Amino acid sequence: MRKYLAPIILVLAFTLINCHNNPANKKTEGTINSKKETIPSEPDPKLTLAWETSSILKIPESVLHTNDGIFVSNIDGSPTEMNGQGFISLIGHDGKMKVLKWVKGLNAPKGMGIYKDKLYVADIHELVVIDIQGETILDRFTAKNSLFLNDIAIDQDGRVYVSDMKKNVIYCFADGKLEEWLKSDLLVSPNGLFSDQGNLMIGTKNNILKVNTKDKSVQIYIDNTGSIDGLEAIGDGRYIFSDWIGHIHIAGPDTKVFLLLDSTKEKINAADIQYIPSKKLVLVPTFLDNRVMAYHLDL
Ligand SMILES: [Ca+2]
Ligand SMILES: [Ca+2]
């Protein structure tokens, strides 16, 4: 009898396992499914603080990540004050200060962009060109009839786009000339700019516009965003954007506008942010709070 016992146990065990996995066993199957349904298929994106600078900065408005560190534009005064106190700082990738006043002699510097070893800075009425290696101001181009230059985006051909938030136009610097380039009824308080494969993306008072830089056609890409300061592509069609007050949102053309960060209660602003896709890092200049804070973005 004993020699038949082992096969019988095996057969019983097999039958039990089989029974458990049998799709016909609706009760078991139903229980598993209902449990699965309560778990969201994709977790919400979220920001987690990675590092922050000390409060040594002076009204930081914008940030620009490079291989050698991160440039920070410091307004140092009111955003429209021609006080000569504005400057650019250079901080390390860990948020430690390298050079507080890397380049001085600006007024109220805001958006920045780099093309061929030159740093371009929007500074109230001027586009300031800085030689990065020489750490000096090379040139200043005045935007005629400008009221409040704010952000910068540079395309692959080196054309520098500059938003004027109060005049509701976009200027373009090309072939040594800075000229008015785009006017549109859709341009309402244009601020954050992002150059995205032949398109200029513009953050306005309540939407993200997509402008074809060849024919200048303008369309609304994402609506009902709230007012936008910094505007950055994620790389999959979605954009991350700040509102200056202290909110950061993420949205795509087919997704809802999702709140990632609210630091308004702590009175920490979120000015012209930058997203670094290779590090999944969001850099946030905190304006009146005088810091740069870096967050990991889990998508
Ligand atoms: Ca801005
Ligand atoms: Ca920007």
Higher-confidence position of 2 and 164: 164
Q: What is the pLDDT of residues 120-177, one digit of tens each?
A: 999 999 999 999 999 999 999 999 999 999 999 999 999 999 999 999 999 999 999 9
Q: Does the pLDDT at position 280 exceed 50?
A: yes
Residues 6+ away with beta carbon under 8 Å from 49: 293, 294, 295
Residues 6+ away with beta carbon under 8 Å from 276: 65, 282, 283
Task: For 162, list phi and psi in degrees, rounded to 5.
Answer: -130, 130
* CB-CB contact of 144 with 169 (8 Å): no
Q: How far is the CA of 22 from the centre of ligand 2 (A)?
A: 57
Tell me what pLDDT residue 183 has: 98
Section 79-105 average pLDDT: 98
Locate the domains of the chain by residue range.
Answer: 2-37, 46-298
Q: Which CATH architecture has domain 46-298?
A: 6 Propeller (2.120)
Tell me what pLDDT residue 42 has: 78
* DSSP secondary structure letters along 174-234: ETTEEEEEEE-TT-SS---EEEETTEEEEE-SSEEEEEETTT--EEEEEE-----S-EEE-
Tell me what pLDDT residue 203 has: 98
In our burial notation (b when 16+ CB lie closer than 10 A, e otherwise), range 107-136 reads bbbbbbbbbeebbbbbbbbbbbbbebeeee
Section 13-38 average pLDDT: 42
Q: Does the pLDDT at position 32 exceed 50?
A: no
Q: How far is the CA of 215 from the centre of ligand 2 (A)?
A: 23
Q: How far is the CA of 65 from the centre of ligand 2 (A)?
A: 11
Q: How far is the CA of 191 from the centre of ligand 1 (A)?
A: 5
Q: Report the half-sphere exposure of 39 (CA within 13 A, side-chain side).
A: 5
Owner of token pair 């012209």: 272
Q: Does the pLDDT at position 283 exceed 50?
A: yes
Residue 283, SS3?
A: strand
The per-residue pLDDT of the chain, averaged, comes to 90
Q: What is the pLDDT of residues 46-72, one digit of tens each?
A: 999 999 999 999 999 999 999 999 999
Q: How far is the CA of 197 from the centre of ligand 1 (A)?
A: 21
Q: Does the pLDDT at position 79 exceed 70?
A: yes
Ligand nearest to the CA of 228: 1
Q: What is the pLDDT of residues 173-218, one digit of tens each?
A: 999 999 999 999 999 999 999 999 999 999 999 999 999 999 999 9
